[in-house]
């Protein structure tokens, strides 16, 4: 019933269509980042409320947590190109509504919340559709490099979006800044119209009448069974959830670390953000050029180990060692690329193309769901035992998980064992 990823269907001249799509999505990402910065700044200036900002973050997470498990099954059933077009269009239309509200003086916090909710819901469909399309457009041998390139792009956007956003807000009214997102989304959508994204094998066989069509509920259940029945994939998903649980508070507590533990100010906090972004760029460039170890899971484990070391360096050095502690932040950014990039490439190459929408959505939803849970725990723990405690816990746990992962055969052989998994699922069809 399932089909392993087949690179024979990828044309030799794959680079032009893929990088055309990639460039359009990169432009759109810059626009979205500017909007995110602009809205956060507006809420900060308008209310000065931490509760409002926390609520905005929660609202941005909820659709990803709630919709993603269900969106993945739809992505695997629908044309992934059109999923991205409709998702991008919906996000752009929501932004247009917000532009109208600001232009007419009818803006409100609740209107911003609703727009953030719609944008996040669009992302719940767009992200798995884009990720699942890459393995159908890029040869397996280049997937890790593409993952590194995507990580580099994220680092660049994290660095350039805040200063550009701040500059634009100081020059133009907010609705003009928001309009940039509509323009960049239109560019991405226009490029998609001229790109062909191959359909997964099952969609092709169903269209040809050579395989039976399944119901949505069958597909949804099949996604859960696929992950649970594959020990290596389940192990990787659980590791992703634990790491997200541990590292989300470490990120949110950085301002307190800078001010309370290292006695720094806004300049020092800005330096932390910049070095983290530079670390992501450097790590992405290295991974793009190198591609990682032949056994890609080793690169991911090295990245997780490095993340743990970086967290410990930043979290535990004495107060007078701030500039030495920044090496931990740089390391955290670079090693994050080594952990995430190859892992993403593994899923794109080992998971059946017909299942990728569901797998990416379920793994992503599980990891995202850890963020609000960890923040609820981290606050009281840090107030009770001190801010540094969470860095000790998080860094040590990451190192321990990486070392344990090296000795778990199901995880270390995830790339080799996917053929056996396919046979098992095929001989146990879901009814």
CATH class label, 216-425: mainly alpha
Average predicted confidence (pLDDT) for the chain: 81
- Cα 10 to Cα 125: distance, rounded to the nearest angstrom: 24
41, 33 Cβ separation under 8 angstroms? no
For residue 132, which of 203, 55, 235 has the smallest C-alpha distance? Answer: 203
- Across 135-169, b (16+ Cβ under 10 Å) vs e yields bbbbbbebbbbbbbbbbbbbbbbbbebbebbeebb
pLDDT of residue 132: 84
Question: Of the CATH numbers 1.20.1250.20, 3.40.30.10, 3.40.50.1980, 2.50.20.20, which one belongs to the domain with range 7-207?
Answer: 1.20.1250.20
pLDDT of residue 36: 82
Interval 187-215 mean pLDDT: 76
- Cα 333 to Cα 276: distance, rounded to the nearest angstrom: 5
Count Cβ atoms below 10 Å from residue 216 Cβ, excluding itself. Answer: 11
| Residue 199 tokens, joined | 């359909």
| Residue 156 tokens, joined | 């660049």
| Residue 205 tokens, joined | 């066989």
| Residue 418 tokens, joined | 């996917």
- Indicate the range of 26-40, 122-136, 239-253, 312-326 predicted with least confidence: 239-253
For residue 169, which phi and psi values (nearest 5 degrees)? -65, -35
Interval 201-224 mean pLDDT: 70
Position with higher pLDDT, 387 vs 118: 118
For residue 345, which of 202, 131, 189 has the smallest C-alpha distance? Answer: 131
Ranges for all domains in the chain classified under CATH 1.20.1250.20: 7-207, 216-425
- Cα 288 to Cα 295: distance, rounded to the nearest angstrom: 16
- Cα 113 to Cα 303: distance, rounded to the nearest angstrom: 35
Q: How far is CA 159 from CA 162, 212, 264, 268, in A?
A: 7, 49, 20, 15
Predicted confidence (pLDDT) at residue 420 exceeds the cutoff of 50: no
Q: Under DSSP, is residue 417 helix (H, G, I), strand (E, B) or coil?
A: coil
Confidence of residue 98 (pLDDT cuts 50, 70, 90): very high
Long-range contacts of 319-323 (CB under 8 A, 24+ apart): 319/261, 319/262, 319/263, 322/258, 322/262, 322/264, 322/268
283, 334 Cβ separation under 8 angstroms? yes
Report the predicted TM-score, pTM, of the whole model to 2 decimal places: 0.72
């Amino acid at each position: 019933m399932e089909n392993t990823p087949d690179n024979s269907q990828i044309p030799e001249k794959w680079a032009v269509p893929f990088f055309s799509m990639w460039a359009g999505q990169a432009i759109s990402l810059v626009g979205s980042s500017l909007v995110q910065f602009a809205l956060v700044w507006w809420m900060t200036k308008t209310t000065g409320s931490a509760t409002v900002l926390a609520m905005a973050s929660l609202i941005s997470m909820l659709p990803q947590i709630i919709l993603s498990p269900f969106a993945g099954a739809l992505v695997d059933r629908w044309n992934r190109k059109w999923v991205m077009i409709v998702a991008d269009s919906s996000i752009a239309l929501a932004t247009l509504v917000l532009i109208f509200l600001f232009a007419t003086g009818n803006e409100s916090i609740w209107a911003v919340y609703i727009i953030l909710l719609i944008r996040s819901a669009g992302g719940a469909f767009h992200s798995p559709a884009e990720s699942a399309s890459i393995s159908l457009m890029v040869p397996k041998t280049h997937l890790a490099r593409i993952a590194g390139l995507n990580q580099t792009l994220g680092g660049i956007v994290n660095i350039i979006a805040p200063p550009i956003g701040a500059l634009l807000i100081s020059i133009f009214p907010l609705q003009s800044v928001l309009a940039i997102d509509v323009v960049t989304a239109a560019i991405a959508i226009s490029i998609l119209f001229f790109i062909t994204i191959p359909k997964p094998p099952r969609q092709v066989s169903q269209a040809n009448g050579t395989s039976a069509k399944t119901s949505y509920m069958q597909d949804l259940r099949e996604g859960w069974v696929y992950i649970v029945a594959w020990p290596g994939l389940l192990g990787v998903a659980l590791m992703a959830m634990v790491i997200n649980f541990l590292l989300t508070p470490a990120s949110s507590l950085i301002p307190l670390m800078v001010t309370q533990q290292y006695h720094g100010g806004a300049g020092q906090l800005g330096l932390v953000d910049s070095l983290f972004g530079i670390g992501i760029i450097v790590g992405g460039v290295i991974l793009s050029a190198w591609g990682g170890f032949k056994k890609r899971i080793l690169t991911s484990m090295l990245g997780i180990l490095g993340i743990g070391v970086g967290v410990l360096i930043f979290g535990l050095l004495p107060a007078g060692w701030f500039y030495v502690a920044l090496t931990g932040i740089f390391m955290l950014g670079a090693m994050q690329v080594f952990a995430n990039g190859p892992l993403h490439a593994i899923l794109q190459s080992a998971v059946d193309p017909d299942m990728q929408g569901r797998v990416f959505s379920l793994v992503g939803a599980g990891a995202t769901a850890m963020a609000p849970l960890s923040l609820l725990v981290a606050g009281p723990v840090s107030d009770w035992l001190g801010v540094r405690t969470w860095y000790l816990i998080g860094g040590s746990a990451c190192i321990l998980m990486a070392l344990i992962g090296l000795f778990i055969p199901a995880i270390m052989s995830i790339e080799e064992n996917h053929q056996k998994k396919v046979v098992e699922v095929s001989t146990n069809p879901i009814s």
